Amino acid sequence: MKLFIIILSFFLASCFAGCVSGKKNVCVSSGGKIAKLKVEVAKTVKEREVGLMNRASLGEDEGMIFIFQESAVRAFWMKNTLIPLSIGYFNDDKKLINIHKMRPAPKEQKHPVTYPSEGKAIYALEANWGWFEKHGIKPGAALDFCR
């Protein structure tokens, strides 16, 4: 019985450390500059489907990173999204492919505008409108998880 409790305690502690979601820091470096963003991580299908929908605001240096299991051409839309956002798509090498500024889609719009990656992407990083420009981030910039 003691062994069972020890194993269960170890499992729960391990899961807690890895399963609890929270905000993580990502750094994007470009031309010697490093910009830090505190992000929510969307790695499950459900988390990616909801994204930043129905949010009235987003902190100045906050965002969301979407992590996919494989690289593919991606496209995002702004259905049920209330705030304008910028999105950067990153490839397997964590290099920025392209950036879009995205406007909220009108509720009556049946087929919202999509904002595609210009190549295969495994990461998509959403931030406030103009965040990439404000920090001088351009295609070719590097993405990393940081402290």
Taking only the tens place, the pLDDT of each residue in 21-34 is 578 999 999 988 99
Percent of the chain with pLDDT over 70: 84
Taking only the tens place, the pLDDT of each residue in 41-97 is 888 888 777 777 768 888 899 999 999 999 999 999 998 888 999 999 999 999 999
Question: Closest by alpha carbon to 114, among 64, 86, 145, 79?
Answer: 79
Strand 62-77 to 114-128 pairing: antiparallel
Residues 6+ apart with CB under 8 A from 33: 135, 136, 137
Strand 142-146 to 23-30 pairing: antiparallel
CB 67 within 8 A of CB 123: yes
**What is residue 11's predicted lDDT score, i.e. its pLDDT?**
34
> What pTM, to 2 d.p., does this model score?
0.81
**What is residue 80's predicted lDDT score, i.e. its pLDDT?**
87
**Residue of higher predicted confidence among 77 and 14:** 77
CATH superfamily of 22-146: Protein of unknown function DUF192 (2.60.120.1140)
Residues 6+ apart with CB under 8 A from 32: none
